[in-house]
């Protein structure tokens, strides 16, 4: 993190000091008009553009009509080209077949080129930057034939804050989103309130957070977007409590509560906590990256789950773009193949195995089974059941299945189901005051408040009076368990 950011405080005076606290400082780049497999270019004439933004897009060569569309919003001080070059999204656009729109703001809108997630005149439905982004979506759907049912939005820091606002403002436009080191939707409605959102919890209930989303588009009764949340546990620009508040907000909107349906370890010290809808499908996912500061998680390399370039506020450890695309369902085949199987069910578990079954697909000659996004069957699965072996006791896993036709074409994957093997170490709970929770290494103090290690949940004031129960659900990962220690 830039040294100047570490010295900022909520009480800093002047616009510049406040904006320094809002998001990363990276010098804007100059757009590169070429790429290996497609074209990155500026798009003009996309609408009335009330937010005075600039539109860039990356479109893979030969992209067919009906492909998905991803909108990727940069952080403060960045440009569209920075995000194009370093985030990893073009790699997956090529690999899985979708277009990417890169909106860009500039110093004419904000002294440090921040998207205005805290300005009610710019981040609400039909207004300012939010309206400009949706005009870009409409233009992309017209130009590239993008599927309006599969439009997604993601953003870093201030771009993450605007992402959350866009999901609340336009749930009829976006099927899913990813908020990277960002803020809950409508956390602040004025610039003066922005610092408070970044630096501490707002002490709102999940229902109050959810009401902010519901009020963004009154009367909306359609499906809600699927939301991925990425948060570093050592982020001192946008505090980890924002990840917890985003989780509270979107699980409440979905009406699914804050009890996880699954917990899974991922590369880079990342813990994925999943929240499924009533049908068992992923609705909200919180990716907590241990020890990561403020930035977008990347993992340079040539592997299918590696991406991006490290640098200021592009932080190595895990490729968040890959796991976000997988969460949205973009990593399956783009075209062709049989329909996705339905009825995927976990039929039995042991300490080392998970047994699955599903409904047959007409025309399928075999099936491929995926665990955590990677294929696990080494031979042909000709029937509609499969047992995964060699697993770790007491560990959660996510599964999907796809049908294979006579030509060998693999169809789209089913909805994911979660299973946890039996056995393993029991969950341990600790009940004491916030002071002793921190001295025992189960929580940490920041700005006079206490936050659980791993989950980053807000525990209130750091003192000897406030008492909580923390459950250690995996080594070094603690969650609030005041209502009872989980089995």
Q: Are strands 396-404 and 366-371 parallel, antiparallel or unpaired?
A: antiparallel
Distance CA 259, CA 316 (A): 29
Contact 433, 443 (CB under 8 A): no
Pull the structure tokens for residue 146. Answer: 């993008």
Instruction: Kindly write down the DSSP assignment for every residue of 257-289, as one continuous string.
Output: -SS-SEEEEETTTEEEEEEE-TTS-EEEEEEEE
Which phi and psi angles does 438 have, rounded to 5°?
-75, -40
Contact 117, 87 (CB under 8 A): no
**DSSP SS3 for 121:** coil
Residue 211: burial class (beta carbons within 10 Å; 0-12, 13-18, 19+): middle
Residue 174 gets which letter from DSSP?
-
Could you tell me the CA-to-CA distances from 159 to 71, 177, 204, 259, 410 in Å, in that order? 11, 12, 23, 28, 35
Active site residue 107: no
Distance CA 252, CA 458 (A): 17
Spot the catalytic one: 157, 181, 262, 320.
157
Pull the structure tokens for residue 326. Answer: 């997988």
Q: Which residues does residue 72 pair with via DSSP β-bridges, in sequence order? A: 154
Contact 353, 391 (CB under 8 A): yes
Residue 425: burial class (beta carbons within 10 Å; 0-12, 13-18, 19+): exposed
- Residue of 157, 129, 141, 171 lying closest to 68 (CA atoms): 141
Q: Work out the angle between the directed axes of helices 191-199 and 14-22 (0-180°, nearest 10).
A: 40
- Residue of 388, 349, 393 lying closest to 368 (CA atoms): 388
| Chain length of the chain | 487
Instruction: Kindly write down the DSSP assignment for every residue of 204-237, as one continuous string.
Output: --HHHHHHHHHTTSTT--SPPPEEEEEEETT-SS
Dihedral over Cα of 33, 39, 40, 44: its sign? positive
Residue 349: burial class (beta carbons within 10 Å; 0-12, 13-18, 19+): middle
Contacts of 373 (CB under 8 A, 6+ apart): 305, 326, 331
Contact 414, 458 (CB under 8 A): no
Catalytic annotation, residues: 157
């Amino acid at each position: 993190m830039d040294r100047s950011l570490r010295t900022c405080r909520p009480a800093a005076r002047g616009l510049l000091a406040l904006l320094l606290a809002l998001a990363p400082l990276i010098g804007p780049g100059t757009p590169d008009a070429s790429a290996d497999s497609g074209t990155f270019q500026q798009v003009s004439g996309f609408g009335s553009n009330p937010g005075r933004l600039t539109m860039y897009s990356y479109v893979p060569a030969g992209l067919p009509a009906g492909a998905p569309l991803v909108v990727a919003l940069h952080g403060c001080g960045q440009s569209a080209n920075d995000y194009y070059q370093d985030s990893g999204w073009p790699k997956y656009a090529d690999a899985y077949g979708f277009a990417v729109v890169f909106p860009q703001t500039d110093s004419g809108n904000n002294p440090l080129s921040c998207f205005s997630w805290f300005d009610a005149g710019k981040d609400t439905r039909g207004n300012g930057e939010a309206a400009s982004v949706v005009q870009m979506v409409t233009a992309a759907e017209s130009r590239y034939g993008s599927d309006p049912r599969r439009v997604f939005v993601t953003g870093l820091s201030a771009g993450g804050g605007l992402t959350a606002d866009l999901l609340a403002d336009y749930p009829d436009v976006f099927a899913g989103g990813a908020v990277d080191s960002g803020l809950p939707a409508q956390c602040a409605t004025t610039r003066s309130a922005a610092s408070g959102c970044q630096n501490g919890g707002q002490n709102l209930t999940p229902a109050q957070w959810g009401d902010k989303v519901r009020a963004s588009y009154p009367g909306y009764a359609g499906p809600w977007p699927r939301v991925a949340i990425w948060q570093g546990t050592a982020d001192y620009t946008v505090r980890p409590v924002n990840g917890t508040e985003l989780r509270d907000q979107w699980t409440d909107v979905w009406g699914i509560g804050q009890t996880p349906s699954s917990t899974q370890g991922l590369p880079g010290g990342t813990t994925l906590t999943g929240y499924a809808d009533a049908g068992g499908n992923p609705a909200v996912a919180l990716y907590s990256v241990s020890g990561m500061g403020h930035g977008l998680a990347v993992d340079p390399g040539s592997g299918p789950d590696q991406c991006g370039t490290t640098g200021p506020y592009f932080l190595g450890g895990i490729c968040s773009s890959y796991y976000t695309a997988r969460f949205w369902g973009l990593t399956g085949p783009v075209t062709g193949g049989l329909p996705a199987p339905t009825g995927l069910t976990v039929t039995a578990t042991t300490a080392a195995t998970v047994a699955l079954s599903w409904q047959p697909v007409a025309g399928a000659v075999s099936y491929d089974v995926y665990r955590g996004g990677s294929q696990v069957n080494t031979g042909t699965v000709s029937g509609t059941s499969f047992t995964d072996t060699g697993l770790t006791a007491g560990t959660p896993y996510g599964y999907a299945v796809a049908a294979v036709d006579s030509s060998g074409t693999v169809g789209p994957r089913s909805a994911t189901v979660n299973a946890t093997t039996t056995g393993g170490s029991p969950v341990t709970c600790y009940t004491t005051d916030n002071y002793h929770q921190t001295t025992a290494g189960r929580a940490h103090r920041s700005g006079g408040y206490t936050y659980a290690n791993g989950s980053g949940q807000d525990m209130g004031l750091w003192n000897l009076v406030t008492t909580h129960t923390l459950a250690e659900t995996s080594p070094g990962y603690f969650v609030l368990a005041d209502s009872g220690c989980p089995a």
